[in-house]
């Protein structure tokens, strides 16, 4: 048994019978409750499951965001802010069972802190995370990248229409594969790049009692909803491929936080996939606040496979973005395909 596996088993075996009886939490559909982990030991936390998730496999965004919260809970220095988090998804978890998060304090210096998080379910490691924190400093090397982002309450449609003019995923005919605890307004889909834009916002301010943490965690939860499906867009115009069943799974997911923000304000999420090959797809994302400031950068690599079985799962994947070739539905927002230049 390697050192990592032995360490995880040691942590799990430390629980007595009373602890085992307490390793349950009621499922919830509220974002604040999802991100409010329960302490079950020194640097050890328990996260609940999400009632809005409609698939048997755990939603990666939930595990990722809960691991983020677990790491932050072990950093006592109030001036230290999370600036990056890197994750590897080791195995699929069950959406029905809670997950235990075990945190190891790997570094605490005058400026930086590092934390390693293991997400464990049923005695199996399902996610490994490294998080880095830095003493907050205002002196930027250069100005943050800016986009011409209109105020959500304005009617300026120069580059990006305001969210109230964009269709909501919640209103989609045929439904969606999860109940999103927030607002998603699709701005544009471009299969040629491929890329997409969406306005996102938490329905209410996530409150975990520690300033920025809840808002960063909410963005981590949201980041896993449509980032990887961006890579599917070019295949929509290829009849042979679009008839096939699609299998997807996140392999790794990274976020860099440049500036604090509020998740209950409108944020513009830009997504693109520069390459997909070797049964893997790479996707990049950026989040801008309503002032046009770049606040988060992200990258995600996922497994992308096609099976010769036709199609119900493909229809579900199509409904993630509502591409008409996938779902057979007419969309009110802008769509570009490989064979049609709009």
Indicate the pTM of the whole model.
Answer: 0.79
Can you give the CATH number for the domain in which 93 is found?
3.10.129.10
Q: The domain containing residue 77 runs over which residues?
A: 3-135
Residue 319: what are its φ and ψ, rounded to 5°? -70, -15
Q: Is residue 284 assigned to a domain?
A: yes
171 and 315 in a single domain? The answer is yes
Q: How confident is the model at residue 180 (pLDDT cuts 50, 70, 90)?
A: confident
Residues 83 and 31 in one domain: yes
Helix (H) / strand (E) element for 115: namely strand 112-121
- Say yes or no: 219 and 79 in one domain: no
pLDDT average, residue stretch 198-224: 82
Domain presence at residue 233: yes
pLDDT digits (tens, 9 = 90+) for 69-105: 999 999 988 889 999 999 999 988 888 888 999 999 9
Q: What is the pLDDT of residue 28?
A: 54
For the chain, the domain total comes to 2
Domain termination residue (choose one: 135, 152, 182): 135
Residues 126 and 192 in one domain: no
> Is-contact 37 69, C-beta < 8 A?
yes
Helix axes 213-226, 60-73, angle to 10 degrees: 160
CATH of the domain at 190: 2.40.160.210
Name which residue leads in pLDDT, 92 or 128: 128
Note whether 226 and 282 are same-domain residues. yes
Are residues 123 and 169 located together in one domain of the fold?
Answer: no
């Amino acid at each position: 048994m390697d050192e990592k596996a032995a360490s995880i088993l040691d942590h799990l075996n430390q629980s007595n019978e009373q602890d085992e009886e307490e390793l349950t939490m009621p499922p919830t559909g509220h974002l604040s409750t999802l991100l409010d982990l329960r302490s079950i030991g020194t640097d050890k936390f328990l996260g609940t499951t999400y009632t809005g998730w409609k698939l048997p496999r755990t939603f990666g965004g939930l595990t990722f965001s809960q691991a983020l919260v677990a790491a932050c809970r072990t950093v006592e220095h109030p001036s230290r802010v999370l600036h990056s988090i890197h994750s590897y998804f080791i195995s699929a978890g069950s959406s029905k069972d809670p997950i235990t998060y075990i945190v190891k304090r790997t570094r605490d210096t005058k400026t930086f802190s590092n934390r390693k998080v293991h997400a464990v379910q049923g005695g199996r490691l399902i996610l490994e995370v490294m998080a880095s924190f830095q003493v907050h400093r205002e002196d930027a090397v250069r100005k943050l990248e800016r986009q011409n982002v209109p105020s959500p309450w304005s009617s300026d449609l120069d580059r990006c229409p305001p969210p109230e003019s964009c269709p909501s995923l919640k209103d989609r005919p045929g439904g969606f594969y999860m109940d999103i605890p927030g607002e998603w307004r699709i701005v544009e889909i471009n299969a040629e790049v491929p890329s997409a834009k969406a306005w996102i916002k938490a329905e209410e301010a996530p409150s975990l009692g520690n300033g920025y943490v809840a808002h960063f965690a909410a963005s981590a939860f949201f980041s896993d909803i449509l980032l990887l499906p961006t890579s599917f867009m070019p295949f929509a115009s290829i009849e042979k491929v679009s008839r096939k069943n699609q299998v997807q799974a996140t392999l790794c997911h990274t976020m860099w936080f440049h500036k604090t923000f509020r998740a209950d304000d409108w944020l513009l999420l830009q997504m693109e996939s520069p390459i997909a090959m070797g049964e893997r797809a790479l996707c990049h994302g950026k989040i801008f606040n309503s002032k046009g400031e770049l606040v988060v950068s992200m990258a995600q690599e996922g497994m992308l496979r096609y099976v010769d079985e036709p199609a119900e799962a493909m229809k579900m994947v199509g409904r993630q973005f509502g591409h008409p070739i996938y779902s057979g539905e007419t969309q009110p927002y802008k769509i570009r395909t490989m064979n049609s230049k709009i």
